[in-house]
C-alpha cells in the first residue's frame, strides 16, 4: 500500500535535546496528523493540521503543514524520557471516494541515548 | 467515554482457521475504520463504515476478509482460512466527523 516518506527512521535523544522529524508525500493532503505509538498500543493523536502553512503547538510539540500540502514536520523541544516511542505522520484523504482514510509514514523511532 | 475497545488483545491461531475480532467504538462516533499494521510499518487502511454502511474497502482487503457493523455500533472483522501473512496488529478507530480519530489498542494476530 501507499506510505509517506518519513525521516529519520530512528534517532537517539538525550534528555533536554530538541528533536525534529519530517514527512513528505507525492500526493496532496487536506489534513496532516501526527501520532505517537507505544509498544503494544494503538497510535495516539498528538497534533492535527488542517490548513497549508498552519503551525500548531501542543505543549512541547510543534508541527507545521507544508505550504505545498505535500509535507509536514514535527518538533519536540526539551525532550524527556517519556517522549520515547514511535512517531507517525499521516495524511488524510477526504475528497472523492476516500472519506477520512489515513496514509501513514513508516514511523520515526525515538530512543534514549545509552 | 471509555475509548475504543478491541477484543481480543492477542490471538494465536493455526493456519487455515477462521478468526473474528470485535471493535467497540466511542459511543457517539458514527465513523469506524479498520487498519492493519505489520512490524516496522505504519498502519494501512482496510475498510471504513459510516453508521452501518461499509463505504470503502482497500485492495488489501482480500475476499478472505469481511467486516460488518450491523447496528452502526460495534464492528467485527473476520478473516477466513488464515495465512501466515495475515499475522499483524489489527487496529480499529472511530470518529464523529472526518477528523483525527481515536484508535483502539489493537488485536495482535499470530498465525502459526
Assess whether pLDDT exceeds 70 at residue A100: yes
Give me the pLDDT at residue A95, please.
60
Q: CA of A109 to nearest chain B CA: how many angstroms apart?
A: 10
Average pLDDT over residues A46-67: 95
Q: Which residues contact A3 (CB under 8 A, 6 or more apart)?
A: A103, A104, A105, A106, B41, B42, B44
Assess whether pLDDT exceeds 80 at residue B78: yes
Average pLDDT over residues A20-38: 94
Of A1, A48, A107, the CB nearest to B99: A48
With 0-12 / 13-18 / 19 or more C-beta atoms within 10 angstroms meaning exposed / middle / buried, residue B47 is buried
The per-residue pLDDT for range B2-33, each reduced to its tens digit, is 799 999 999 999 999 999 999 999 998 999 99
* Chain B residues near residue A1 by CB distance under 8 angstroms: 44-45, 58-60
Nearest-angstrom CA–CA distance, B105 and B5: 7
B85 touching A (Cβ < 8 Å): no
Give me the pLDDT at residue A94, please.
65
Chain B CA closest to residue A46: B100
Task: State whether B40 and A106 contact (CB < 8 Å).
Answer: yes
Predicted confidence band of residue A112 (pLDDT cuts 50, 70, 90): confident
Assess whether pLDDT exceeds 90 at residue A63: yes
Q: Which residues contact B16 (CB under 8 A, 6 or more apart)?
A: B81, B82
**Residue A56 host element (H or E):** strand A55-58
Assess whether pLDDT exceeds 70 at residue B73: yes
The answer to whether B108 touches B10, Cβ cutoff 8 Å, is yes
The answer to whether B23 touches B6, Cβ cutoff 8 Å, is yes
Amino acid at each position: 500500500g501507499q506510505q509517506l516518506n518519513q525521516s529519520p527512521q530512528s534517532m537517539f535523544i538525550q534528555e533536554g535535546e530538541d528533536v525534529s522529524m519530517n514527512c513528505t508525500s507525492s500526493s496532496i493532503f487536506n489534513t496532516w496528523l501526527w501520532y505517537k505509538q507505544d509498544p503494544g498500543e494503538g497510535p495516539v493523536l498528538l497534533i492535527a493540521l488542517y490548513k497549508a502553512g498552519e503551525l500548531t503547538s501542543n505543549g512541547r510539540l510543534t508541527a507545521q503543514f507544508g505550504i505545498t500540502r505535500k509535507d509536514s514536520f514535527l518538533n519536540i523541544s526539551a525532550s524527556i524520557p517519556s517522549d520515547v516511542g514511535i512517531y507517525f505522520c499521516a495524511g488524510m484523504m477526504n475528497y472523492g471516494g476516500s472519506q477520512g482514510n489515513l496514509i501513514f509514514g513508516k514511523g520515526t523511532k525515538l530512543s534514549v541515548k545509552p | 467515554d471509555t475509548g475504543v475497545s478491541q477484543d481480543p488483545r492477542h490471538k494465536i491461531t493455526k493456519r487455515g482457521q477462521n478468526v473474528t475480532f470485535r471493535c467497540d467504538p466511542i459511543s457517539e462516533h458514527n465513523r469506524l475504520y479498520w487498519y492493519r499494521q505489520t512490524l516496522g510499518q505504519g498502519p494501512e487502511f482496510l475498510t471504513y463504515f459510516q453508521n452501518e454502511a461499509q463505504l470503502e474497502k482497500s485492495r488489501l482487503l482480500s475476499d478472505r476478509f469481511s467486516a460488518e457493523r450491523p447496528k452502526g455500533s460495534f464492528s467485527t472483522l473476520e478473516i477466513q482460512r488464515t495465512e501466515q501473512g495475515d499475522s499483524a496488529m489489527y487496529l480499529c478507530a472511530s470518529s464523529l466527523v472526518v477528523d483525527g480519530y481515536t484508535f483502539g489498542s489493537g488485536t495482535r494476530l499470530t498465525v502459526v
